[in-house]
Amino acid sequence: MTDSKRVAIVLALVPFVALGLARFAYGLLLPPMRDDLGWSYGLAGTVTTANAAGYLAGALLAPSVVRRFGERGAVVGGVALTALLLALNGVTGMYALIIVTRFGAGLSGGVAFVAGGVLAARLSRRGAPNALIWYTSGAGAGIAASALAIPPLVDANDQWPLGWYLLAGLTAACALALGAVVPREDEDVDTATTPAGRGVRLGRAETAYGLFGLGYIAYITFAVAYLRDGGASSNAVITFWFILGMAGFLATPIWSRILPSIPGNIGLGVALAGCATGVALLAVSRAWPASTVSAILLGGSLLGVVSAVTGLARDVVAEHDLPGTIARLTVVFGAGQTLGPILAGLIGDTSAGLRLGLVCSAVMLATGALVSASGQPQTVAS
């Protein structure tokens, strides 16, 4: 195995942490936290909004952090800081502190994810053509890992802090692995390409990506709580979450074969349509056949969206503009997912319940699919 391929594979630990553990695993811990702390769905959704706002801030700061510390420093430092902040989530049930730590974990994870995405995109041009595929698959593996790690805590409402400590330990181990493998810039990276620049606009893809952020996050945040409210057992919930993560992990190589053969933004539209169908199916029925197919569709399409957008940036953007462009896309995505959870939570507290929130999410995702598929990306020189 070449050094480039080894680095590319280990880089998958960045989305494993930044998405799978630091963001998505909250959906698994939400039911026991909500029961123990007496939260409404609005308060629970605001916690996700704080995390998403931190992610948005991290994406905005990432180019500056990369210029100051390099991609390696941003990746390893961001993941290490995320481990500390995840541990702090379990220290107290004080709502204000949880908001702060979730914001902080989003910020550090956002910096690491953007910097890691830039490295993966560069490696995909330099000896590891599947680097972006491996990179995005890390998020699905993180979801599946959290399903295997947290099950004993799902029914123990007052033991939810242990879940955060466990996630923090896994994240710290990932930081050590990244520190051991990711090279310093002067070893393998042309530092002249590091500054972010202004980036390049990707037309309709940006709008679609923002709608994706707005629509998918409500499902990830509230799907487990929605199933538990419908009487699903702990084993059923854990199975659902594991299938969701594994579908993303296993579908990523499939997307790597599909996306290059689909012109322009069509691939992004197809992936968004899969997400919309998965969310709509769960809104229609909480029965195990429907929820299982929903998890497969949403999980299998979720990372296809990320792969499509990142691949689009790689294909139409000059290398020196990659950091700025990926940061821009992450900002648009982050803005959407900042609004999504609190809106879905407020809807969940009404008589219509979480089902209506899922319906609204499906509409947003379907709209994103239509926006993306209706035109080709437009680029503007930076």
70-79, 190-199, 245-254: range with lowest mean pLDDT = 190-199
**Does residue 74 surpass a pLDDT of 70?**
yes
The residues, any chain, with a CB within 8 Å of residue 114's CB and separated by 6 or more, are: 58, 59, 62, 63, 66, 74, 323, 326, 327, 330
- Range with top average pLDDT, 265-269, 293-297, 305-309, 371-375: 293-297
| pLDDT tens column, 333-346 | 888 888 888 888 88
Q: How far apart, in whole angstroms, are the C-alpha atoms of residue 326 and residue 302?
A: 17
Q: Which amino acid is at 140?
A: G
Residue 189: per-residue pLDDT? 42
43-47, 116-120, 320-324: range with lowest mean pLDDT = 320-324
Mean pLDDT computed over 37-60: 92
Residue 376: per-residue pLDDT? 58
Residue 106: per-residue pLDDT? 95
264, 155 in Cβ contact below 8 A?
no
Reported confidence tier of residue 1, pLDDT bands at 50, 70, 90 = low
Reported confidence tier of residue 191, pLDDT bands at 50, 70, 90 = very low
**Does residue 207 surpass a pLDDT of 80?**
yes
Backbone angles phi, psi at 311, to 5 degrees: -65, -35
**Does residue 255 surpass a pLDDT of 80?**
yes
Mean pLDDT computed over 77-106: 95
Q: How far is CA 56 from CA 78, 137, 221, in A?
A: 14, 21, 17
Q: Percentage of residues in the chain with pLDDT exceeding 90?
A: 52
**Does residue 4 surpass a pLDDT of 90?**
no
51-65, 120-134, 203-217, 222-236: range with lowest mean pLDDT = 120-134
Residue 186: per-residue pLDDT? 41
Reported confidence tier of residue 321, pLDDT bands at 50, 70, 90 = confident
96-100, 245-249, 263-267: range with lowest mean pLDDT = 263-267
Reported confidence tier of residue 380, pLDDT bands at 50, 70, 90 = very low
The residues, any chain, with a CB within 8 Å of residue 145's CB and separated by 6 or more, are: 16, 20, 21, 170, 245
Residue 309: per-residue pLDDT? 85
Reported confidence tier of residue 348, pLDDT bands at 50, 70, 90 = confident
Tokens of 208: 């679609």
pTM of the complete model: 0.87
**Does residue 244 surpass a pLDDT of 80?**
yes
Reported confidence tier of residue 43, pLDDT bands at 50, 70, 90 = very high
Mean pLDDT computed over 224-253: 92
Mean pLDDT computed over 151-166: 77
**What's the CATH architecture for 3-373?**
Up-down Bundle (1.20)
Domain ranges of the chain: 3-373
Residue 195: per-residue pLDDT? 39
Reported confidence tier of residue 76, pLDDT bands at 50, 70, 90 = very high
Mean pLDDT score of the chain, rounded to an integer? 86
| pLDDT tens column, 8-32 | 999 999 999 999 999 999 998 998 8
Where do the H-state alpha helices sit in the chain? 3-11, 13-15, 26-37, 41-89, 95-124, 131-149, 160-181, 185-188, 204-229, 234-258, 266-284, 288-316, 322-348, 353-373
Instruction: Transcribe 44-88 into DSSP letters.
Output: HHHHHHHHHHHHHHHHHHHHHHHHHHHHHHHHHHHHHHHHHHHHH
Residue 197: per-residue pLDDT? 43
Reported confidence tier of residue 157, pLDDT bands at 50, 70, 90 = low
